[in-house]
Amino acid sequence: MLFNSPVFIFGFLPLTALLCFSIRAVLGRESSLAFLVLASLFFYGWWNPVYLPLLIGLAVFNFLLARPIMSERKKANGGWSKALMIFGVCVDLGALGYFKYTDFLINTVNTIGGTDYHLQHIILPLAISFFTFQKIAYLVDASRGEVEPHSFLEYCFFVMFFPQLIAGPIVHHKEIFSQTKMKRGFAFDRMNVSIGLTIFLIGLFKKVVLADNVAPSANWVFGLAHQGQAVGFLAAWEAMLAYTFQLYFDFSGYSDMAIGAARIFGIKLPLNFHSPYQAINIIDFWRRWHMTLSRFLRDYLYISLGGNRKGFFRRYANLFITMALGGLWHGPAWTFMLWGAAHGSFLIINHAWRALPRKPINAWWSRGIARLVTFLAVALAWVLFRAESLDAAMIIYQGLVNVPDDLNVSALGIDLLWLSFWMGILWYWPNTQQLMALVKPAYDYGRRERHADPLLLPIEGTRYGWLGVWRPGMAAAVLVGLAATVSILSLQRVSEFLYFQF
């Protein structure tokens, strides 16, 4: 069931909210929590009920295993807690590996060894990449003694809550368990519903009006490259930049819709995007792009490998390995691993540049150049992310540098105007959390976080004027209503979110 489908917007979401609030008013918080777990199972099973036992089975397995892990860690030297944790992580990774990487490994063996093993053509269960990471973090934190007391029902809600189940944000257990225990949890709240609907509709607009309308330019050219056809200079640049914009608005829109849908029920999910194309270096980019994935890779992979604690070169090796594996997490293809490796290399260069003994330049023009260079590096790497094969990626790269002698100046001018329009939105229009700055739109967006993190808009001094102080009212209702109208009129062509394939 897609967030941008009429059945979800006009059926599932409002009906689920109505029943949840009614059950909460009559039977209490625990009953409404149980109802949301059942509704989430229905939501997941709508796509393919065959994989419901997998979702439920892994949830039960991890919950039951966490009990002895937490008991064992209280014994001398941690008892068997670490061994049990490693066993659980291996089971989770084994399930992910079987469904997602079996054919990739068989194909790799066939290519290298000249064998002819048959591919299994296993259908990838929806969301397995996302909920596997949540479960791994849960087991690791259980072995560290960092999981607060919770019931099985609260755990099921944590791993199954439908707004974040399919493609994130990748929530952490502490972000959910602290909210399921609130006295007013899951009760109807006019402000929560108003804020949630606004964020959801902003995300819907990003997806169906922005992402879906820029997608054809990318799909056509990348399709030609996949067929082995040569791609011209302007076409290659248009395709690369169109996909760069499409991917951002598609996944950022999905994350907004997830955060908005959850807020209707009084649950705050963490931020996942904060204007990543405004980043002034690659380190800054990964603090802004897919923030919950970056957090997981940092806390449970990079630090586990040793982080920056074991010397200069080991730190860079850990960065490279983390990003390469993060790339492979996105899909069973060498293009994804190379994309991750490219970003690992970018991060190494960025950290090495920072380590040089020099006086940094901090002027408006230097920040502008840094932002442009960072954006170009990210866009070039997206070619690997989007291409169906390495050969297709090379065709696009060749087109990018194949400047014709008879370059069409008028077409170039039109492309530059098109580029200016999209870059103007990305660089100068406020993002969702900036528009909603005063109503704490996400879990990690309170007053303390806004003052501590320069990525987040401060309460005072916003450059967006009234746009940064959203409150329910006539002006906000009219603007959101217009965006909703345009979005709903575009639902005639419902398309999947790009991250559903991961």
Residue 26 CA: distances (Å) to CA of 258, 264, 296: 27, 19, 39
Task: Answer whether 199's CB lies under 8 Å from 260's CB.
Answer: yes
The answer to the question of residue 267 being in a domain is: no
pLDDT of residue 269: 94
Report the distance separating Cα 337 and Cα 176, nearest Å.
31
Task: Answer whether 149's CB lies under 8 Å from 44's CB.
Answer: no
* Closest to 215 measured CA to CA, from 235, 258, 244: 244
Report the distance separating Cα 4 and Cα 205, nearest Å.
10
Report the distance separating Cα 474 and Cα 87, nearest Å.
56
* Closest to 142 measured CA to CA, from 165, 171, 174, 170: 174
* Residue 264, token pair as written in the block: 């209707």
The answer to the question of residue 315 being in a domain is: no
The answer to the question of residue 454 being in a domain is: no
* Residue 18, token pair as written in the block: 């109505």
What's the predicted TM-score (pTM) here? 0.92
Residue 128 CA: distances (Å) to CA of 177, 178, 278, 425: 21, 24, 31, 33
Report the distance separating Cα 130 and Cα 118, nearest Å.
28
Three-class HEC string of 204-262: HHHHHHHHHHHHHHHHHHHHHHHCCCCCCHHHHHHHHHHHHHHHHHHHHHHHHHHHHHH
Mean pLDDT, 10 residues at a time, over the chain (502 residues)? Answer: 91 96 94 96 90 94 95 86 94 93 89 85 86 93 91 95 90 91 89 94 94 92 94 94 95 95 95 92 93 92 87 90 94 93 96 84 84 96 95 95 85 88 88 83 70 56 52 79 89 78 68
The answer to the question of residue 450 being in a domain is: no
Task: Answer whether 446's CB lies under 8 Å from 434's CB.
Answer: no
Tell me the angle at which helices 128-144 and 173-180 cross, rounded to the nearest 10 degrees.
Answer: 80
Report the distance separating Cα 487 and Cα 312, nearest Å.
50
pLDDT of residue 461: 46
Which helix (H) or strand (E) segment is 138 a member of?
A: helix 128-144
The answer to the question of residue 339 being in a domain is: no
Report the distance separating Cα 67 and Cα 378, nearest Å.
43
Which domain range does residue 78 map to? 6-189
Q: How many domains does the chain have?
A: 1
DSSP string, 94-137: HHHHHHHHHHHHHHHHHHHH---PPP--PPPPTTHHHHHHHHHH
Contacts of residue 2, Cβ cutoff 8 Å, sequence gap at least 6? 8, 494, 496, 497
Task: Answer whether 470's CB lies under 8 Å from 476's CB.
Answer: yes
Active site members? 330
pLDDT of residue 407: 81
The answer to the question of residue 47 being in a domain is: yes
The answer to the question of residue 33 being in a domain is: yes
The answer to the question of residue 158 being in a domain is: yes
